[in-house]
Amino acid sequence: MMVTSVSAQIITVDRLRNETTRTIKKEIDTTTWTRKRGGLVSLNLSQGALSNWASGGDNFSLSISSYCNYYFFYKKGRQFWDNNIDVNIGYVQTTSLGSRKNDDRYDYLSKYGYKIDTIGKWYLSSLFNFRSQFFDGYTYPSSTGVFTSSFLSPAYFILSAGLDYKASDKLSVFVSPLTSRWVIVMNKYLSKNAAYGVDSGKHSIEEIGSFITVNYNNNFTKNINYKSRLDLFSNYLNNPENINFYMTNQLSCKLSKYLSVVYSLDLIYDDNVRIFGPNGNSPGLQLKSLVGVGFLMPMKMRKS
């Protein structure tokens, strides 16, 4: 019995010694960030000339419209970071009306989210959006243009926290009950005239309210793509029933590798933009519709 007991103790000590000196292999973290980026560049050009044309019309007309989009997306485990940049520039020249811009916008949207359950499609998210323009803008109630906008006048900053529902890789709906929205008017003339709801002499105003943005992007076929975004904002402190409305739509149809037809429709309603109506002091629905045939070059999508 004594020999058996001593032998068992020796075996136990040897096992403990081996365990303490064994090299422990660290588990390798196989979760990596998934990266995806891409976009497209579109350029549409039309030109016309008339000479001794009985039906009438401008002797010369030239229209150029361009659109550039770039997106980059990161995902790791339950986290995602989604970014999108849109830039639109348009210009028209005619003998009767002179030169005017007909499109001018840059827009950056960024969302970061964390999935709050393993099987659902809801993400606890934060959102940042910045939107403005490059050049001076005019409205034309008559042949003489009225100065209405400029660089960073207006500019819109949105900072929001809420829930993002990703129904699919084509559709997402972000809802926030608490959002800060800043309206910036840097131009001195527009600031002096209390444009875009900013008090006279001031350059910015902060609004607190609720915010919803719906983003949709779908390739119906290999050659047909539709992209849309809808933003809704209600200011809790000033006429919350007057909801600010911003919507962009773009339908592109490829005719060949680099030739396409592109139609875009933008709709905006902002109760603080009171430059419409008979007296030029009322809000109104802003609408911009453009169609063109031209160059379309998709940026190659990259994944890593």
Q: Which CATH number is 48's domain given?
A: 2.40.230
> Does 251 map to a domain?
yes
> Does 21 map to a domain?
no
Q: Kindly report the average pLDDT of the chain as a whole number.
A: 84
Tokens for 178?
């608490």
> Does 13 map to a domain?
no
> Does 51 map to a domain?
yes
pTM comes to: 0.82
- Give the domain extent around 90: 32-303
> Does 7 map to a domain?
no
How many distinct structural domains can be found in the chain? 1
Q: What pLDDT shows up at residue 5? A: 40
Average pLDDT of span 76-95: 91
> Does 24 map to a domain?
no
> Does 20 map to a domain?
no
pLDDT digits (tens, 9 = 90+) for 41-63: 888 877 777 665 665 667 777 88
